[in-house]
Chain A
Amino acid sequence: MSKTWLIAQREYLTRVRKKSFIIMSLLGPLITAAIFAVPVLIATMSDNGKVVAVADAGGLFAQKLPEAKDDISFTRVSADLATAKAEFKKAKYDALLYVPKLDLANPEGFQVFSRKGLGMSLQRDIERAVENAVETQRLSKAGLDRAVLDNMKADVDLQTISLSDDGERSSSTGVSTGVAYVCGFLIYMFIFIYGIQIMRGVMEEKTNRIVEVVISSVKPFELMMGKVLGIAGVGFTQLALWVLLSLGITTAVTGSISPEKIAQSRVEQVNKATGTTAVMKKDTKKEGNAMVQALRNADINVALIAGCFLFYFLGGYLFYGALFGAIGSAVDSETDTQQFMMPVTMPLVLTFVVAQATLTTNPNGQVAFWMSMIPFTSPIAMMMRLPFGGVPMWQLGLSMLLLIAGFVGTIWLAARIYRVGILMYGKKVTYGELSKWLFYKG
C-alpha cells in the first residue's frame, strides 16, 4: 500500500507541477467568469444604434414612428420612393423601409433597402415594428385601444413543487436544468480528460521501457492503482481550484455589476432571441427580479447534490480510468488506441446526447432510470436526474452500489490486461488476444 502511495505521489506531483496544469487551472475560472461577464458587457456596450429611414407612402406610421430602442431608431424621409432613395444615398441611414399604399387586411409590398444587406436582428426589428403598427391600426379600426389590450395580457409564473414522501419542495425547472447540465458536463469532461491522461501515462511508461524496472519493485496492480489515484488527485485539485477561483472571480464581477443587471441583460437577450415584442420590455425588470428570486429560492438540496457529485465524479472516473489504463497497456502507440477507445467512449458520449433529449425533460422516466443504474452511464445520468429531485433513496443507493461493483469489476479486468500488456511489445493486439490475457496465470 505504501508503494501505491509513493506512485500516486509521483504521478500527482509531476502533473501538478506542469505548466499546462497551472495554465488550465487559471484559464478555467476565467472562461467561466467570461461566460457570465461577456453578455453583461455586450449589453452595456451595445452598438450605438442603427437608423432606419421610413418612406411612408401608405401612411402606416402617420401618427407616430415606431419607438426607438437601444440599438435601432427610425426617422421619416420623403414618402416618394425615388426621392427617398436619393436621400438614403446621401445620408448615413442604415436601411430604408418603404411602406406602400396598403390594404390592412392583406398588407404586402413592404420593401427594405440597405447598403450591405441587413443583419438578421435588424431585419427582425423592422419586421416587428411594421407588424406592430399594422396590428395597432387594425385594433383601432376594430375600436380597441392598444393599451387596453396590453393590460389584458396575462403574465403567469408557475411555481413548480415536487411532491414526494419527504414533503413538498418548491423547485425551479430552469435552475434544475442548469445544475444538471453543469454537473453532468463536469463529470463527462473529467472522465475524458483524466481517463486519457491515465492512458497516456501508461503508454509513456511502456514505450519508455521504465515499466520493467518499476514492476520489478512493485506489483503491476500497485503501479496501475497508484497511477489512477494520483491522477484522480490531480483532477480533484483542478476542480477545487476552478470552483474556488470561479467563485472568487464571479463574486468580484457581480460585486461591481449588480445581479439584477446581469439577469436583466440575460432576459433581454432571451427576448431578442425568442422574438418577444418590445411591448414586453417594461416587464423585463420584473422578470429579471423573478429570475434572481428563483436562483435564491431554488430549493435544491445542495448538500445531497454536492455529496453525490463527489461520489459520481470519483466513481465514474475510477470506472472508466481503469479501462483507459488497460487500453494504454495493450497498445504500442497512440494510433493503435482508436479501435479500443470506441467502445469505452461511446457510452459516455451517448449519455450526454441522450441527456439533452430525455434526461432533463423526463428525469424520472424509464430511460432515465435505467441509464442511472447502469455503471457505464450512471455517473452522468444520475447527476443529471438528481437536481430535479424525486429520485427515490433506494434508486440512488442501488445506483451507487452498482457503480462501486462496476469500478471494482473494471479495475479487476483492467489489472488482468494491464499486467500482460505492459510487457508485450510489437504486437497488434486484437480483442481475442485481450480476452486470452484475462485468463493468464500470474
Chain B
Amino acid sequence: MKPPILEVRDVRKQYAAHTALDGVSLSVPDGSIFGLLGPNGAGKTSLIRIITQITGADAGQVLFRGEPLNPTHIGRIGYLPEERGLYKKMKVGEQLMYLAQLKGIHKDEARQKIKNWLERFDIKSWADKNIEDLSKGMQQKIQFIATVVHEPELVILDEPFSGFDPINANLLKDEILAMRDRGASIIFSTHRMESVEEMCDHIALINRSRKVLDGPVRQVRDAYRTQTYEVEGKGRPMVVHPDFEVVKHQERENGHFYDIIKLHAGTTPNDLLRYLIGPGNVEVHAFREMIPSINDIFIRRVRETHPDYVPTEEEMAVKG
C-alpha cells in the first residue's frame, strides 16, 4: 500500500476563547476520495486552513507525502473554499492565468492548461468575458477550474456542491472521479453527510473540535451494522421467535406485509431467510439489510461517547 498523501497528527488550534481543533489526527490515503464530515462549526474549515497553510496549527504536525508542510507544497494543493469568490471586473482568461501563476506555474504552461480546461468544459468563448457578466453557475465552473488548473496532487473541496445546480453538480462529480482516476487525492468537506457517502472511499467524522470516527466507508458501515433487515412478502410471518425480534410489523392489502426484523446475536440473515420460506410459510418479495446512514452513525457515535449529548441546533439541522 502507498503511504498516505496527507497525515494530520494531533493538531490543535485555539482562537481566543474558542478551541477549534482539539487533538485531531487523521490520514488521507493516496489516490482516495476522503470525506471530512461534521456539522457546521465542528472545525472542518479550521483544519482545512491549516492544511492549505492559510493558518498554522498551535500544536501537532501535518505531513504532506511524509514531509512537514512547507511553502513548496502550496503549488501541489488545490483549494476550493466554501465561500466562493473571484475578481468581478477581471476577464475569465486573465483571472485563471493570474491564479495559476500564483500557484507557481509558468505563464506558457498555464496558458496551455487553461485552454485545455476551457475546451473541456466547452466554454472557450468565455475567456474574454468579465466575471461579473457570467451567471452564478458559470462562475462556479470558472472557480472549479481555478482550483484544479495547476493539476494538484491533493484537491480540497469545502462544501463543493453548495450553490451548484444539479447539472453542474453532476459535472463536478464526474470531474472529481476523473481526477481520482488520474491519481489525485480529494478531500471533501461537507456537513451534508449523505451527499458524499456514495463517492467517498474514506471518511472522518468531526464533532465539536474532535474527531469522532474515521476509516474506510465500508469498514465504518460494517462496524455499525445493526443486524436489522427489511422483509416484504405475502402471508403471515411469526411474531415471536427466540432467534430474532420483529421491530416493526405492517399489514398491507391482499395479505401483504412489511416487517423490520432484528437478528439476535449468533443468528445469520440466512437463518432468517430459511425460517421465512420454511416454517414461516411466507412468500418473500424483498429482503434487504438496513444499512445505517453515515448520519445515523454520526449520531450514534456521538451518543456513545457523550451519553448526555444533546444535539445543537446546527447538528439537528444536519439530521433533518
Residues of chain A at the chain B interface (Cβ within 8 Å) = 3, 6-7, 10, 14, 205, 208-218, 423, 436, 441-442
Complex Cα distance, B55 from A215, in Å, reads: 10
The verdict on B265 contacting chain A, using a C-beta distance below 8 Å, is no
Cβ-defined contact, A442 with B102, below 8 A: no
Cβ-defined contact, B16 with A212, below 8 A: no
The verdict on A218 contacting B102 (CB below 8 Å), with A213-B79, A436-B16 known, is yes
Cβ-defined contact, A208 with B101, below 8 A: no
The verdict on B81 contacting chain A, using a C-beta distance below 8 Å, is yes
A10, closest chain B residue (CB): B98
The verdict on A216 contacting B77 (CB below 8 Å), with A6-B98, A14-B89, A442-B55 known, is yes
Cβ-defined contact, B86 with A210, below 8 A: yes
The verdict on A213 contacting B85 (CB below 8 Å), with A436-B16, A441-B58, A442-B56 known, is yes
Cβ-defined contact, A3 with B102, below 8 A: yes
The verdict on A216 contacting B52 (CB below 8 Å), with A209-B81, A441-B58 known, is yes
Complex Cα distance, B102 from A205, in Å, reads: 15
Complex Cα distance, B84 from A211, in Å, reads: 10
User: Which residues on the B side are within 8 Å of A209 (C-beta)?
Assistant: 81, 83-85
Cβ-defined contact, B86 with A217, below 8 A: no
Q: How many A-B residue pairs have CB under 8 A?
A: 61
Interface string of B48-89 (1 = CB under 8 A from A): 010011111010000000000000001101010101111111
B85, closest chain A residue (CB): A209
A209, closest chain B residue (CB): B85
User: Which residues on the A side are within 8 Å of B87 (C-beta)?
Assistant: 14, 205, 208, 210
List 24 contacting pairs A-B, 8 Å CB cutoff, sorted by A: A208-B85, A209-B81, A209-B84, A210-B87, A211-B85, A212-B81, A212-B83, A212-B85, A213-B79, A213-B81, A213-B99, A213-B143, A213-B147, A214-B99, A216-B52, A216-B53, A216-B79, A217-B74, A217-B102, A217-B103, A217-B104, A423-B55, A441-B58, A442-B56
Max chain B C-beta neighbours (<10 A), residue from A210, A215, A442: A210
Residues of chain B at the chain A interface (Cβ within 8 Å) = 16, 49, 52-56, 58, 74-75, 77, 79, 81, 83-90, 98-99, 101-104, 143, 146-147
Shortest A216–chain B CB gap in Å is 4
User: Which residues on the B side are within 8 Å of A210 (C-beta)?
Assistant: 85-87
A218, closest chain B residue (CB): B102
Complex Cα distance, B79 from A177, in Å, reads: 57
- Going nearest first, the 3 A-B pairs with the smallest beta carbon separation are A209-B85, A442-B56, A210-B85
User: Which residues on the A side are within 8 Å of B83 (C-beta)?
Assistant: 209, 212
B84, closest chain A residue (CB): A209
User: Which residues on the A side are within 8 Å of B55 (C-beta)?
Assistant: 423, 442
B74, closest chain A residue (CB): A217
B14, closest chain A residue (CB): A441
Complex Cα distance, B268 from A101, in Å, reads: 136
Complex Cα distance, B146 from A209, in Å, reads: 14
